[in-house]
Every structure is written in C-alpha cells, then in structure tokens.
Chain A
Amino acid sequence: MKKILLFVLCAAASFTSASPLRAEMAVDDIVRKANHAAYYEGKDGKADAKMVITDSQGRTRERLVTILKLNVTDGGEQKYYVYFQKPSDVKNMVYMVWKYVGKDDDRWLYLPALDLVRRIAASDTRSSFAGTNFVYEDISGRDPDDDSHELVGSEGDFYELKNSPKNPGTVEFAYYTVSIDKKNFIPIKADYYDKNNKLYRTVEALEVKDIDGHPTITRMKASDFNSNGFTVTEFLGVKYDIGLGDDIFTERYLRKAPAQWIEQ
C-alpha cells in the first residue's frame, strides 16, 4: 500500500515538473548559443578594432587596436593578443589575456619603452577597457554561470532574457536584459539596470555581417547614461581561422609583435 502511494506521488511529481524543467533547459541553451555566437566563433580570428569615444560635450578620442584571438576550448578558455596602434602614446603596447572560466584570467601588459612585461592583477572585469565605455567583460565575455537567466519573452524575431548576478556585490548592475536574434543567436542589445531600477547603460550591436559563414558583429556601441558618453567600436578586416598558433600568445611576441599578423 505504501509502495503504491509512493509510486503515484512520484509519477504525479514527474508530470508537474516536466514543463518548467524543459523551459529552464531552453534558457540555458539560448545563453550558451549566444555566448558562442558572440565570443567563440571559429577556431581563431583577427580584427582591427577602431574605437571612438565621445564624451558628454561631444569631444572625441580614438583608439585603434589589432586583436588576435584563439579559442582554446569552445565556451571555455581563450587567448587574446591586443596590439595598440593608436593613440601614439600607447603605440606598440600590447595587452595579453589568457581567459579562463571559473577562475581569474591571466593578464599582461607590455611597455615597449622599458621593454617591460608586467603581470596585471585581474580582479576587476567590470572596469573600462582602454578608457572606452566598454568593460573587459564586453570584450572577452561574461561567464554565463555568473548570472541566473530567465526567459521573459520569445515572440517575434528575438529571445528576451533577464539576467541577475549570483554575486550582486561583484558587479555594478542589479540586472540586465538581453535581446538575442533567433536567426543567429547574436545578442543584439543589452540594457543594464541599477539598484534603483534605472536604465544606466546599453550595449548594442549596430551592424551584423556574415563573414566566412560566421555571423559577426562589425559595429557595436556602448552608451553610459550617467556620464552621457558613448563609444562606437568598428571591427575592420575581420578574418577567421587564420591558423594562429598557441605560441603567439607568449612573452616572445609581446616583445616583438608577430610580423605575419601585426602591421606596425
């Protein structure tokens, strides 16, 4: 008698939990695919990134870097080599990152005037990248496991997600919403809300092109509504699967940029 009751209860439980279980998997699936589309396309890649920063008074600054990227594991470890071309006071400096999931990245900065390879402490991934309105996580990706994800809409061409940080103390936002294109899983727009539920920041893809079969964001914009400044980044000369070796991402090429890939 007890065994039958237990069986019936278990069966009932499995029927009622089936639907939310399926929906939860779908959200994680979407997040995983979007993370891949935004950051892990191809085996490796190269691009010139032209970043124009405009402040609240309309004054502009420009940064030009050449980025080499290697995807060591899909959705996991990556290596970045960022060679500064402009402005001239940072020219020939190189910033290198070995990105990990679940632990701090390894970061280095090469200062050519001193021939100095400096190891950088990686604790803050929400600080500005090169003085732009983009933060490190916008460039190299935020670990999907750092947030809990909720699918709040899926009519039309986009999945709408709401993401809340699992460790609110480590980030400056209370939550952010993302619109993900159903066709190619590219995150088109991310809106960041602070503790007062105010929209203070938006990162959006202005242009997406198909390059070598990979959907690629070629123009993106980060707007800061607190400071009224914004940065537009254009990715030029994007190439995938150019055969970058693991050895490019070592001290050797910090001190002497790889002539094959970097035009100095």
Chain B
Amino acid sequence: MSTRVFASEMPKLHGFVEADIGIKVNDDKLAAKNGYNMAEQRAQFKLRYFPDQLEILKKWNTEIFFKTDVLIDEYTEQPKWWAPRELYVAFTPLSFADIKIGEQILTWGTGDYIFINDQFPKDYTSFIIGRDDDYLKLPSYAARLTLFSKLASLDLVAIPFFTPNDVPDGSRISFFDPLFNRVVGTQSDRYLREPPTQFDNTEVAARLYGTVKSYEWALYYNHGFYKNPAGYKNQQTGELYYPELDVYGASVQGPVPGVGGIANVEVGLLDSKEDDYAKNRLVQDSTMQYLAGYKRGFKNDFEVGVQYFLIQMLHYTAYKNSLLPGDTQDDKVYQQYTLRLTKFFANQTVNASLFVFYSPVDKDAYLRPSISWKATDSWSLVVGGNIFLGNQNNADWGQFKGDSNVYSRLRYSY
C-alpha cells in the first residue's frame, strides 16, 4: 500500500513581497537611527493544507495552516529568515466543537484599536512605525476549543507560553521612561522580566457569546498577566515585570433603531491581583474600563466611526497615599475619543482613511492618515503617516512626538 504525501489536491502557495520605508518628520534623535524608523523588505508565504490520508482526518475537517514572514529589517540590521506568524492545526471532532492548536492570532471584542477584553498580545512598535494593521496583533501559542449551540457559544483558550506586547523601548521608538522622568531613546536600559513558563503560569481566556435578533452580546474572562510591563521588580536596576491580571467584562453590539448605524458598548474590570488594592506603588492599580462606539455608512462609500473610552482607577486614594516624592501621579480618570473616516474612490481601488486618537485628559493626539491604491489585483501602494501631538511628556500617545513619521509600503501579492 503506497502512502500519499499530499492530499488529493496540491496546497496552493500564496503570499506577497513588500518594500516599506518610514521617514521621521519630527526627529528627536534619541533612537538608534536618525531620520527614519522603518526600512525593510518583507516576503510572506502562506499555505493551507487539508490532510486526508486517514479517514478520521477527513471526517474531522482537519486543516493545517502555515504563514510565515521573511523580514529584511534594515533598521535593526537583523534579517529574520524564520518568523512564523501562524502555524496551527484546526479540526472539528464533534459537530458542536471546533479545536485550533498552535501558533495563532486571537482577536475578540468590539473596539476599533481599543482593547478591553482582548488581552492577547499586541505589537505597538509595528503600529507606530507604519506597518500594515495586521501586525498590530502578535500570535499566541495556544489551544482553543469552541463549543457551539443555538443559544450561545463558548470559546475557551489556554495559552501556556507567555507573549508580551511589543512596546517601545527606546532602541527604535523613543518613549517616556519613568526611571528617567523624561522621553528617552537608546539611553533607556530596562530589563523586562517575563513570567517563567510553568504549568500554573498558563493564561486562560474565555468568551461566552450569542446573538439575539440583530444584537451580539458577549461575556469575557481573562486570567493571566499584564501584557505591558506594568510593575517594577526593582526601580534602581530598572527591572520591570508583568504582574498578574484578571479581566472580567461584557459587550453588546447592534443596530441603533430608527437612526441606523451600529453602536457598541464594552466594559471590563481589570483586577490587578498583585497590587493589593493600590497599596503597592510598584504595580499598576486595578481599573474599570468603558467603551462606547458608533459607526455608520453614508452614500458614496463614506464611513464614519466614533468611540469614547474611559479608564477609571479603582483605588485612587490608596494609590495617591502610596506615592513617593518624585513619582509621576496619574489621573484618576483617563478619557480618550477616537474618530475613523474612510472613503473609497474609483471603484474601491483607492481608499483614503484617517484614524484619530484624542485625549482631553492628557491633551494629546495621534493621527493615522493613509491613502491606499490598488493599482492592479496584484500591486498595491500605501502612503500614510503616524503623527503624534501634545506637550505632556508622559502622555499615552504624545510621548511619541519625536517618532512621528510618514511612510510608504509597496506590495506585490500572489
């Protein structure tokens, strides 16, 4: 009996090659290189394969998916020949259960660039320097089980290997470093200690969700660690770590009767377990987070979306009392507005878009304008900018003023 290596159909190879460049327009000359913060070539390969050598593989609709990037990053001068973004096996062992195991991207929640119940890792460096939106999310090594029923479905995710957010650390993006109390670049010398891989450090995420009439509801639970280094192990040596975090949340999304458009509301309680009700000044306080959003489409392919985001520190008095002289004091309530405008032109081959973050509390703003042009089905060109405004050094977005850039990405897809 011969063994077949491939399934009845050869898996097709798809992907793209891309050249990107990002020029700094307000260079604070603090990062490793002046003048630019992105210069790279990228090749992505993706393959989807349905093994059917065994009857059970076919019965379970087994699928293997592989996606990897080869990145020649001239900024870091370190080519990455092997950077798989996704490598997983997905199958359906029972009619009401889907399983996905391996390196995968996980996304849920109702926000637009605002994440409350999506505690999966993100890459803010890529976001700031002008890489494609896809790269805002980092893959997780996870096992995902989803159980389905007519009334509601349940997502259960176990993540045994910790992946932190990729946050600016001064080498490429200058940022406000509390250890220096100002914006620094390569001078920053923080050590970010990750939780060791061990059984009881496995992160868990769950979502119970369903749709009633046209309204989507969900309940969320996350158990794990902050993905930003939200705690100090040792301020003198500049050692930070990722404290324990539990998140409980809910969301609803659906059409607004009469007026039209889609509205969403999402809330989350971020329980900072090691902060002991804000008595520990070295760890971030627990917060309550609220998001309200509204979007609608207009004639001629024009869409508008707005959001209001609020973070409320839960133990502000204890937090204030715990501070030492020299500590920067955060506000009790942080607010942020966002606006998204999108318009298509020329049979949807040209897309002009603007996304703005604005905080009346920090008095800062982050503008993301971009124009993309699909010259043919294979060639596309994107030109855009990442512009940071504000005078407060430690503002969430304003701190990146010196990293503001304009960028261009040219891609050939196959």
User: Once bound together, how far apart are the Cα atoms of A130 and B347, in whole Å?
Assistant: 8
By secondary structure, the A interface counts as loop
Confirm or deny: B153 has a beta carbon within 8 angstroms of a beta carbon on chain A: yes
- Give per-residue flags for B13-26: 1 if the beta carbon is below 8 A from chain A beta carbons, else 0: 01110000000000
Confirm or deny: A157 has a beta carbon within 8 angstroms of a beta carbon on chain B: no
Contact flag A256-B98 (CB < 8 Å), given A87-B377, A114-B105: yes
Among A32-40, A118-126, A191-199, A233-241, the stretch that binds chain B is A118-126
Confirm or deny: B104 has a beta carbon within 8 angstroms of a beta carbon on chain A: yes
Contact flag A259-B107 (CB < 8 Å), given A114-B137, A122-B297, A264-B48: no
In the complex, chain A residues 96-140 whose Cβ is within 8 Å of any chain B Cβ: 98, 103-104, 106, 113-116, 119-124, 126-128, 130-133
Which residues on A sit within 8 Å (CB–CB) of B50? Answer: 259, 264
User: Which residue of chain A has the shortest Cβ distance to B414 in the bound complex?
Assistant: A88
Q: Could you say which interface size class chain A belongs to?
A: 35 or more
Q: Is the CB of B299 within 8 A of A172?
A: yes
* Max chain A Cβ within 10 angstroms of own Cβ: one of B50, B98, B348: B348
Q: Is the CB of B61 within 8 A of A104?
A: no
Q: Is the CB of B348 within 8 A of A131?
A: yes
Closest CB in chain B relative to A252 CB, distance in Å: 6
Which residues on A sit within 8 Å (CB–CB) of B344? Answer: 127-128
Confirm or deny: A43 has a beta carbon within 8 angstroms of a beta carbon on chain B: no
Which of the residues B153, B209, B261, B347 comes within 8 Å of A133, measured between beta carbons?
A: B347
Confirm or deny: B321 has a beta carbon within 8 angstroms of a beta carbon on chain A: no
Closest CB in chain B relative to A226 CB, distance in Å: 12
- Give per-residue flags for B197-239: 1 if the beta carbon is below 8 A from chain A beta carbons, else 0: 0000000000001010010100000000000000000000000
User: Once bound together, how far apart are the Cα atoms of A87 and B412, in whole Å?
Assistant: 12
Q: Is the CB of B262 within 8 A of A121?
A: yes
Q: Is the CB of A115 within 8 A of B262?
A: no
Which of the residues A86, A103, A121, A252 comes within 8 Å of B297, measured between beta carbons?
A: A121
Confirm or deny: B148 has a beta carbon within 8 angstroms of a beta carbon on chain A: yes
Q: Is the CB of B299 within 8 A of A87?
A: no
User: Which residue of chain A has the shortest Cβ distance to B262 in the bound complex?
Assistant: A121
Q: Is the CB of B347 within 8 A of A229?
A: yes
User: Which residue of chain A has the shortest Cβ distance to B305 in the bound complex?
Assistant: A121
User: Once bound together, how far apart are the Cα atoms of A131 and B301, in whole Å?
Assistant: 11
Q: Is the CB of A115 within 8 A of B104?
A: yes
Which of the residues B262, B298, B378 comes within 8 Å of A119, measured between beta carbons?
A: B262
Q: Is the CB of B297 within 8 A of A113?
A: no
Confirm or deny: B106 has a beta carbon within 8 angstroms of a beta carbon on chain A: yes
Which of the residues A106, A113, A122, A255 comes within 8 Å of B134, measured between beta carbons?
A: A113
Which of the residues B14, B98, B295 comes within 8 Å of A91, measured between beta carbons?
A: B14
Confirm or deny: B195 has a beta carbon within 8 angstroms of a beta carbon on chain A: no
Q: Is the CB of B255 within 8 A of A124?
A: no
Contact flag A123-B260 (CB < 8 Å), given A61-B376, A87-B413: yes
User: Once bound together, how far apart are the Cα atoms of A3 and B363, in whole Å?
Assistant: 80
Contact flag A256-B303 (CB < 8 Å), given A91-B14, A123-B297, A124-B298: no
Q: Is the CB of B255 within 8 A of A114?
A: no
User: Once bound together, how far apart are the Cα atoms of A59 and B374, in whole Å?
Assistant: 13
User: Once bound together, how far apart are the Cα atoms of A247 and B210, in whole Å?
Assistant: 12
Q: Is the CB of B107 within 8 A of A104?
A: no
Contact flag A259-B377 (CB < 8 Å), given A131-B349, A252-B153: no
Confirm or deny: A55 has a beta carbon within 8 angstroms of a beta carbon on chain B: yes
Confirm or deny: A207 has a beta carbon within 8 angstroms of a beta carbon on chain B: no
Confirm or deny: B29 has a beta carbon within 8 angstroms of a beta carbon on chain A: no
Q: Is the CB of A61 within 8 A of B377?
A: yes
- Give per-residue flags for B273-301: 1 if the beta carbon is below 8 A from chain A beta carbons, else 0: 00000000000000000000001111111
Residues of B within 8 A of A (CB): 14-16, 48, 50, 61, 63, 90, 92, 98, 104-107, 110, 133-134, 136-137, 146, 148, 150, 153, 209, 211, 214, 216, 253, 255, 260-262, 264, 295-303, 344, 347-349, 374, 376-378, 380, 411, 413-414
10 interchain pairs, CB-CB under 8 A: A87-B378, A89-B411, A91-B14, A114-B105, A114-B134, A127-B300, A130-B348, A250-B211, A252-B98, A264-B48
Known: A89-B16, A127-B344, A227-B347. 17 other contacts (CB 8 A): A89-B411, A92-B48, A103-B255, A113-B134, A114-B105, A115-B104, A115-B106, A116-B107, A119-B253, A121-B297, A122-B255, A123-B297, A128-B348, A131-B347, A131-B374, A252-B153, A256-B61
